[in-house]
Amino acid sequence: MMKTTPLINSTISQALSLFVLLTFMVSCKEKPSSDQAPLVENTPSKKEGVKVITFGLYTTDKATTVVEEFAPTLEKLEAHLTKELQYPVDLQFKITSEYGKGIQYIEEGTVDFSRLGPASFIIAKKRNPNLELLAMESKKGERVFNGIIAVHRDSDFKTISDLKGHSFAFGDPLSTIGRYLSQAELLKVGLTHKDFSKYEYVGRHDTVGMAVAAGSYSAGALKESTFKTLVENGEPIRALMKFDNVTKPWVAHPKLDREVIAALRSGLLDMETSSVSKDGFLTASEEYYAPVEEAMALSKDF
């Protein structure tokens, strides 16, 4: 049975009931309720012959939203692995609210495989060159999706050059969109940190959007899917500009048996649709992430 294990603080009490419900939904077999209770540390399966494989994830939105999104995909993957490997497989979440922890978990092998952002993958790969790409998410058959620089709906800004002298909310310091790519776009028009009245790294994508909506910052960088959700929920923000990002990679630690890595890869690539990547997954190569690595180098000048 797959269980959630978020390493988060303020959202634990709010997310508890949903975590338990989703754990039950993904389960193919019952375990004592005491096994389902812990939310801070993993409780590996004690059943003989069950292969426990841990999936690592850091939250870019609310923990409840993230678990709800990923649980159906992990359920499909668990079923595929059990069939392909011909022994029971138990996929378990290990969730953290920190990008750095998420990178560390897959780098060191605390988790068996992870979904990372492009910049996080580049960092993790440099620390552990033996990490293996499994697949990358598909967006309508492409390997590209959009980042957004958002402003308040009622603002007069027309281009990102107009942000000079105003405030900016970035996401996590290790975020591809929330930091590296957005800073690269600002640098292209000659803006550096000195050109803003203030700038801060505020964390999750939804936190960025809400801060701009509230008027706490003049602009902010976030992923398009979160931007759209906020707009649909009535938040008064609009897109000042869009920029390309490469879709997210799923990565395995080399400690896994080759047959398990192969089964994980085939399980992802065989999904025509998933709850995470509506259009399934595509084959992955490090060369697709070269533009992100270039932006990371450029952002040092911000």
- pLDDT for 135-165, tens place per residue? 999 998 999 999 999 999 999 999 999 999 9
pLDDT at 12 (0 to 100): 33
Q: Is 144-246 the same fold as 6-141+247-289?
A: yes
> Position of tokens 């896994």?
256
Residue 198 backbone zone (phi > 0: left; psi -120 to 50: alpha; other: beta): beta
Tokens of 225: 């899917």
**Cα-to-chain-centroid distance, residue 7:** 15
pLDDT beneath 50, residues of the chain: 1-46
In the chain, domain spans: 6-141+247-289, 144-246
pLDDT at 48 (0 to 100): 64
Closest to 147 (Cα-Cα) out of 229, 242, 239, 246: 242
- pLDDT for 176-223, tens place per residue? 999 999 999 999 999 999 999 999 999 999 999 999 999 999 999 999
Q: What is the CATH number of domain 6-141+247-289?
A: 3.40.190.10
Residue 288: C-alpha distances to residues 132, 135, 221, 274, 293 (Å)? 14, 12, 22, 22, 10
Output the CA angle 8-39-276, nearest 5 degrees: 70
What does the chain come to in residues? 302
Pairing between β-strand 51-58 and β-strand 237-246 as defined by DSSP bridges: unpaired
Closest to 11 (Cα-Cα) out of 57, 63, 60, 58: 63
- Architecture per CATH, 144-246: 3-Layer(aba) Sandwich (3.40)
Q: How far apart are CA 140 and CA 239, in angstroms?
A: 21
Are the beta carbons of 132 and 43 closer than 8 angstroms? no
Whether the pTM exceeds 0.75: the reply is: yes
pLDDT at 14 (0 to 100): 37
